[in-house]
Structure 1
Amino acid sequence: MVTCLATTSNVPAADACAHLMRSFPQVRALVMCGIALGVPCPGDPERDVRLGDVVVATGGVVHYAHRRITETGGALRGPALPASPLLLRAVNEVRALALSGGPHWAGAVGLPSAAYRRPAPGEPRVFHGKIGSGDELLRSAARRDEIARQDGLLALEMEGAGVAQSAALNGAGCLVVRGVSDYGDAAKSDAWQPAASLAAAAYLRALLEHLAPARPAASPLTLLDVAEALERVPSLQTPSDRDDVLQLLGPAIAGRVKRDPRTRQAVLSLADVCFRYPDGLERLLEVLRRLEGDSEPVRALATLLSEFCAQAP
């Protein structure tokens, strides 16, 4: 599903996200794709974002205006809004393909017209980190650098926080992908907007090719679906982490689960044993909540388990 905003800023973005998810409740994750101002950092090639480059918010979205202000300074009210684990897996596959010398993602979308042609030669780079989101239309390099410096931001835009927060409140993940169209300084212009938007769209197209097709709505959930959700929980990523979870579940369950260094096989055995044990899946969810809190992977698991148990005879 695709939707466009009627205007800029985080409030309309959150409203559009909420309406989209109400209309299509099967949506598991959203991508906010568009343009942003980049924060140049001369002398640091790992952070020197330039026009036409793409910034992917793998470090989350920072609502930089949502701060507690005191006489001694200010601090963010809460951490960065995290990126979707499902989409981060696809991001890592795109990065791995680039390292192996595969086709450059910029060719994933053809040139719609000459207006979208990149003004300067060379292929765009991809930067991974935090993107700031607020309602300021910046034309001040000093203000840009002040915001970026205090929160370690690579780019700034005006909708990502609204989408990420709305997605989280509706039980879905989010990823923000932005093409850099200007630097938010006095020389700001629209000249790079077509090329930057095309770069972001091309990256997104390449990203989507690395995602598994969505499960048909009519397909019943299986233990494999439960195992895939468990794979995304940080507390189950290593054998030692899984042993800690088993210890909290108790010997009746732990003694039946097969130990396996491979995450998929280990969590599949865990899901099977918990499914067969009275209230086993509920106990597993309780343990993971104790370890993880109300994290996005745990919320997604809770939703899936609710659907899985509801369809059981």
Structure 2
Amino acid sequence: MIWSSSPAVHGAPADVAVLTVIQPELFAALDALGFGPDAYDKDEAGTIYYRGAVRSARARRDYRVVLSCIGAAGNYDAAAATRDLVAWCKPAAVLLVGIAAGIRGKLKIGDVVLSDRVVAYEPAAAVVGPDGAPREERRPEIDRLPHAMNQDVVSYRPDPARLQAVFAKIHGELPAPLPGQEELFREHVVTALAVRAATIASGEKLLRDPSKLLCVRKEQHGKVEAGEMEAAGLVGACRRGGVPWLVIRGISDFGDTFKDDRFHNLAACAAAAVLADFLAHGLDLPAKPGGWGRSAAALGMALALAGGGFAGWNCVRSGGGESVAVPDANEPAGIPPIPPVAPAPASSTAPAAVGAAPATTPARLSPATLAPPATATAAAAGSAAPRTEASGAATRVTLKNIKAGDGAKIRGGNVDGQGSSDTDVNGVTCGDNCEINVGNVKNR
């Protein structure tokens, strides 16, 4: 596996969002994904996120991953955290990773299950029976894994050597039996990491009675093998947001007296190892369409202030081979959008007229027709002094979080040297053969 870290950038899009519930699950996932201290980020509500990149051997590209910890058990908190995360970084998939209880005889402690469906077993109606006696009518909510995610799960081949390498890297351990428990360990605790699909029951009850899961299996869904407290909330939030999901759970107990504190670390590390391996060798997400670049260019134009000023441009991306022009505040308004065109060679490009876009620059939407996004800001130029170039006023443009695909071209400010434009660049990622020009690149 190949890991790499990227600087934390609040609000930037992600390919995959990962949620954990408790601290051991969070730390195991951070270690398995190789996210260091520079991955840390915190939003206005105080929620902490970690950002980084994981190389996908299947998709042959880096996945941008955001990881967070709910910090409290239960489907209500899970649903709220998931909705926040989906709105914050608009992931293409959401994964829930951590520990769960299993049914003795169906699973072993240390097994890792990938959800093929989630059964929310708590919903019910309080009704009166034919005899006049009150009773509870079960009304479970059952969600099957979304088709595309299910295809990735059924085609995923977890390699024992790969899993063991990650498990050892994050200090996962298979605990030795305590005196008198040798037979129990042989029968109910794994000796090597194992992964398979299973149906997971999700409710608001902490399971300390093994008969509860058995009852859910008997009365609500005959394939239930594991139980936990967050998947139903996550699934409901993902369903509303139209985002594919997957639940990855390491089995830490059977909800009975066979317990060992070391089982929590075993289950958390096993689930985290499978998470890292599935991201690298199982999950196959399509790349974002290149049309995002054109939309971002139009939004960026809306932020330019006529006559000089400051424009902030957030979360701008371009697909491979697409040319995206960064707005200049001195460009004329009211020009309808047209498809971008490839720039002409420098030797054949004549200087543009004062106040007009260069002939090779795509036309843009008028600022009057677009509202700036909430994450962007615009303010006065401050101490920037007017310059004497043809444009007549200084412009300061800040480029943030620009993602440019292979072969893309980004032209910023007065790239043909007409007038004056100061450009700050941060968080810019450029693919193979990508070209980024900012400021007065011809030094006129």
**Shared fold, TM over 0.5:** yes
Aligned to 1:24, which of 74, 85, 89? Answer: 89
Q: Does 1:206 align with 2:264?
A: no
- What is the distance in 2 between the residues matched to 1:122 and 1:138? 25
- What is the distance in 2 between the residues matched to 1:121 and 1:53? 7
Q: Retained in 1: the 8 A contact 2:167–2:270?
A: no
4+ aligned runs moved over 4 Å, structure 1: 69-76, 102-105, 216-221
When residues 129 and 74 of structure 1 are mapped into structure 2, their CA distance, relative to the original with a 3 A threshold, is farther
Which runs of 5 or more structure 2 residues have no equivalent in the other structure?
Answer: 1-65, 130-134, 176-188, 294-444
- What is the distance in 1 between the residues matched to 2:198 and 2:128? 30
Give the secondary-structure state (helix, strand or coil) at the position aligned to 2:205: coil
Q: Does 1:91 align with 2:153?
A: yes
- What is the distance in 1 between the residues matched to 2:190 and 2:113? 19
Matched residues, number:
207
Considering only CA atoms, is the larger Rg found in Structure 1 or Structure 2? Answer: 2
Aligned to 1:65: 122
Give the secondary-structure state (helix, strand or coil) at the position aligned to 1:2: strand
Instruction: Please report how far the alpha carbon of residue 22 of structure 1 lies from its aligned counterpart in structure 2 after TM superposition.
Output: 0.7
Aligned to 1:146: 215
- Using structure 1 for the length normalisation, give the TM-score: 0.59
Looking at secondary structure, tell me which structure has more helix per residue. 1
Aligned to 1:283: none
- What is the distance in 2 between the residues matched to 1:104 and 1:77? 43
- What is the distance in 2 between the residues matched to 1:5 and 1:89? 28
Question: 1:61-86 CA distances to partner (integer Å, 9 max, x unpaired)?
Answer: 11110123545675553541221323
- Using structure 2 for the length normalisation, give the TM-score: 0.43
Q: Give the superposed CA RMSD.
A: 2.5
- What is the distance in 2 between the residues matched to 1:75 and 1:128? 29
Q: Retained in 2: the 8 A contact 1:49–1:127?
A: no
Moved more, 117-126 or 83-92: 117-126
- What is the distance in 1 between the residues matched to 2:202 and 2:86? 21
Moved more, 120-129 or 153-162: 120-129
Give the secondary-structure state (helix, strand or coil) at the position aligned to 2:151: helix
Which runs of 5 or more structure 1 residues have no equivalent in the other structure?
Answer: 42-47, 222-313
Moved more, 12-21 or 73-82: 73-82
Aligned to 1:303: none
Aligned to 1:124: 193
Partner letter of residue 119 of structure 2? V
Aligned to 1:37, which of 86, 101, 113? Answer: 101
- What is the distance in 1 between the residues matched to 2:261 and 2:234? 24
Partner letter of residue 54 of structure 1? V
Instruction: Please report how far the alpha carbon of residue 19 of structure 1 lies from its aligned counterpart in structure 2 after TM superposition.
Output: 0.3
Larger RCO, structures 1/2 (Cα 8 Å, 6+ apart): 1
Aligned to 2:245: 174
Aligned to 1:215: 287
- What is the distance in 1 between the residues matched to 2:85 and 2:199? 25
Instruction: Please report how far the alpha carbon of residue 111 of structure 1 lies from its aligned counterpart in structure 2 after TM superposition.
Output: 2.4
Aligned to 1:82: 144
Aligned to 1:7, which of 67, 72, 75? Answer: 72
Q: Retained in 1: the 8 A contact 2:213–2:226?
A: no
Moved more, 189-198 or 140-149: 140-149
Aligned to 2:232, which of 158, 161, 186? Answer: 161
Aligned to 1:294: none
Q: Does 1:111 align with 2:168?
A: yes
Q: Does 1:55 align with 2:120?
A: no
Question: 1:150-192 CA distances to partner (integer Å, 9 max, x unpaired)?
Answer: 2231100010000011010111121111000011113444320
Looking at secondary structure, tell me which structure has more strand per residue. 2
- What is the distance in 1 between the residues matched to 2:149 and 2:109? 25
- What is the distance in 2 between the residues matched to 1:64 and 1:121? 28
Instruction: Please report how far the alpha carbon of residue 133 of structure 1 lies from its aligned counterpart in structure 2 after TM superposition.
Output: 0.5
When residues 122 and 21 of structure 1 are mapped into structure 2, their CA distance, relative to the original with a 3 A threshold, is same
